[in-house]
Amino acid sequence: MLRISFLLSVVLILTSCTTTRVQDLEQASKLNAQLGLAYLMKGWNEQALSKLKKAVKQNPDNGKAYLYIAELYRRIDERERADRYFQQALDVAPDDSSISNNYGAFLCTDKKYKEAFKYFDKALENPVYTDRSKVFENIGVCAEEQGNIKIARDNYIQAIKINPNLSTSLLAVALLDFDAGNIGSAAKYLKFYNRVGHDSATSLWLGVLIAKKQGEVRTLRNLSWSLANKFPQSKEAKLLKRLKSSGAL
């Protein structure tokens, strides 16, 4: 009886040690993945890849580590490697909405629209996913690239309803509405964009066009100056210069 108790104690100790070691490795993997992401965001790709591969070695089921490696390869245009790591991320974490959303966006840039929408739908299956607004925005971008303007706008609007500060969607709706001749709505969404976003050549040029349509001379002059001075090499600034020279503005 005494011998049996001793053996059980040994087994319990060994099991506890093994469990602790697994937990330690999982925690270390999580920390290395976070470090890798931080390096990636700074553009330190070599350091990022080293940390992320270490994270995968420590825990082969760390879906986020695979996702970040995929993003690294996407950024340096290693498309095949990026795709492979996206697939590995999905293999180990098939219910992670952030992986599905990012992979959908990746597929969209490769014009694999049908597959992209499948992964966006997968991401939206989780009703409490915190970045649902970004999924709708990505659907909008993908649909717009296909030429499906109504679907694009509807999804941008859905994204804005969830997150009113989503600058990409706000500017996208402003541009679509201007192209559709709905100047009032375009001006409204551009105003919303200007509250949360930064000046860009696109936003300033749209402001110039709206001001021209609405006869707002002072606004037109101010935005033209900002475009010409902040983004002098942009295609919008060059177009502005040509139109001014021809007397069209």
Predicted pLDDT at 22: 55
Please give the angle made by the CA atoms of 90, 95 and 100, to the nearest 5 degrees: 55
In percent, the amount of the chain with pLDDT more than 90 equals: 82
**Spatial distance between the Cα atoms of 105 and 86, rounded to a whole number of angstroms:** 11
Predicted confidence band of residue 25 (pLDDT cuts 50, 70, 90):
confident
Distance CA 249, CA 239 (A): 10
User: Sign (positive/negative) of CA torsion 192, 104, 84, 58?
Assistant: positive
Residues near 76 by Cβ (< 8 Å), separated by ≥ 6?
Answer: 45
Residues 101 and 70: beta-carbon distance below 8 Å: no
More confident residue, 127 or 207: 207
More confident of the two residues 175 and 15: 175
**pLDDT over threshold 70, residue 143:** yes
- What is the average pLDDT across 152-157? 98
Contact 232, 238 (CB under 8 A): no
pLDDT band at 20 (very low <50, low <70, confident <90, very high): low
pLDDT at position 2 is: 39
The arithmetic mean of pLDDT across residues 88-92, rounded, is: 96
Report the share of the chain in percent with pLDDT over 70.
Answer: 91
Residue 147 zone, left/alpha/beta (φ > 0; ψ -120 to 50; rest) = left
- The first and second tokens of residue 221, run together, are 């002059």
Distance CA 222, CA 135 (A): 35
Contact 227, 238 (CB under 8 A): no
Q: Specify the residue for token string 């995929």.
A: 70
Q: Which residues, 6+ apart, have CB-to-CB distance to 75 below 8 Å?
A: 40, 45
Amino acid at 212: K
Mean pLDDT of 64-78: 94
Q: Mapping DSSP to helix (H, G, I), strand (E, B) and coil, where does residue 20 land?
A: helix
**pLDDT value, residue 8:** 40
Which pLDDT score, from 0 to 100, does residue 245 have?
A: 85
Residue type, 56: V
- Give me the pLDDT at residue 217, please: 94
Are residues 56 and 65 in contact, defined by beta-carbon separation less than 8 angstroms? Answer: yes
Could you report the per-residue pLDDT of 170-192, keeping only the tens digit for each?
999 999 999 999 999 999 999 99
pLDDT at 138: 96
Distance, in Å, from the CA atom of 166 to the CA atom of 76, rounded to the nearest integer, reads: 26
What mean pLDDT comes out for the span 63-67? 94
**What pLDDT was estimated at residue 27?**
86
Instruction: Reply yes or no on whether the pLDDT at 12 is more than 90.
Output: no
Confidence check: pLDDT of 164 > 50:
yes
Mean pLDDT throughout 35-52?
93
Distance CA 232, CA 249 (A): 17
What pLDDT band is residue 26 in, cutting at 50, 70 and 90? confident
